[in-house]
Amino acid sequence: MKNRIKVWLISFLCTTILIPTLPISSISADDTTGANESTDVSENIDQDEFASKVDNLLTQKDFSGTILVIKDGKVLYQTSRGYANFAKGRMNTEHTAYEIDSIQKALTAALLMKQVEKGKLKLSDKLSKFYPDVPGSKKITIRQMLDMKSGLVMSNQIGPDSVMSDDHILNNDIKKLHFSRIYYNRWFYSPINYNLLSGVLEKVTGKSYRYLFTKAYIDKLKLKHTIFAYDRSPQIEKAAGYSNVDPLSPRANYHNAFRTNRYYTYDELGTGQVYMSAMDLYKAEHYIVSGTMLSKKSKKELFKSGSSSSYGGGFYNGNNNKFANGWGYGFQTVVHISDNGKDSVVVLENYQRLAADIKPTASQIYSMLNNN
């Protein structure tokens, strides 16, 4: 994620109170989420026992945020803890919107693949077709960028220090780019790939990234708790992000609210500039992974491992499941989802601490869905 050097280094290292638990219920049925109205619970899962185990895991992490667990397309567990805004005394709830950070990349990748379906773009297209001034662009394909194998490196991931249009942001970033022959065609996590892919989207459609995202996800799925970071709405509660002065301290005391300059959110074009509630995020992930947004052929092509890292199309692609995570601005986000979209763990946390990394816990909870 783009941010000040200290925060970026913390993010890079990470790469290498209670609201009552909700009873199981079905998600409203529609042709985009794939959910059904059945309330039957898998006989292999004891809901009370499952909830007790998850509660204990969250307590150990001093968790602040919202977690949503879906089993067979139904809500198995959902709870929120901690403060959305400590200074104002507002608690996190199921409707709280959190910065999803790098999880947005998968949503950007699906938007791009939709243009491939429409014949406006090919994964084999060279970046030079759209941004000829980018170093190495004559060798770099759209596919390589989706898989983080372009060789493009930005030294500090910090964009311009003022609010600019998307074009101006990308032109500013391009001046700071380097092409590494060592990392070309080898996996190297560099957010600039998805910044540029967002620009490619704008060039082939003639529409802004914001417009494309809004139409494809917010409007199509009727998301009520999703908003761009630089926007405000009295109907949407955006959580404040928190961290500790000492990143190795596990205690959540809410004494260090993360201060974000407005231009940061614009700089995160296509890579980390959206706030979503847990259910909204699940609906969007289900839509792109197993819903009707993309054809089966497109999904098979997009969501495949591009390297030994298993990263491809914004997800780390496993055996019949996908994983994505984000980190920055006082937030940590994790999503696990099965290929059929029926099982998922969505964790949105507004308290970022190295000493209380929620990623292993999210993975453990997802494993519990099928290994009780």
Break the chain into its structural domains and give their ranges: 5-368
**Would the pTM of this model clear 0.85, i.e. be above it?**
yes
Segment 97-133, tens digit of pLDDT: 999 999 999 999 999 999 999 999 999 999 999 999 9
pLDDT score, position 199: 97
SS3 245: coil
Tokens representing residue 237 in the block? 């509660």
pLDDT score, position 5: 36
Question: What are phi and psi for residue 270, nearest 5 degrees?
Answer: 75, 0
pLDDT score, position 3: 40
Segment 18-68, tens digit of pLDDT: 333 334 444 543 444 544 433 445 557 899 999 999 999 999 999 999 999
Segment 318-371, tens digit of pLDDT: 999 999 999 999 999 999 999 999 999 999 999 999 999 999 999 999 999 987
pLDDT score, position 160: 73
CA-wise closest residue to 21 among 67, 71, 86:
67
The chain-wide mean pLDDT, for the chain, equals 89
Homologous superfamily of 5-368 in CATH? DD-peptidase/beta-lactamase superfamily (3.40.710.10)
Distances from the Cα of 141 to the Cα of 9, 135, 184, 185, 193, angstroms: 28, 13, 11, 10, 11
CA atoms of 247 and 244, how far apart (whole Å)? 5
Beta bridge partners of 338: 321
- pLDDT-derived band at 157, boundaries 50, 70, 90: low
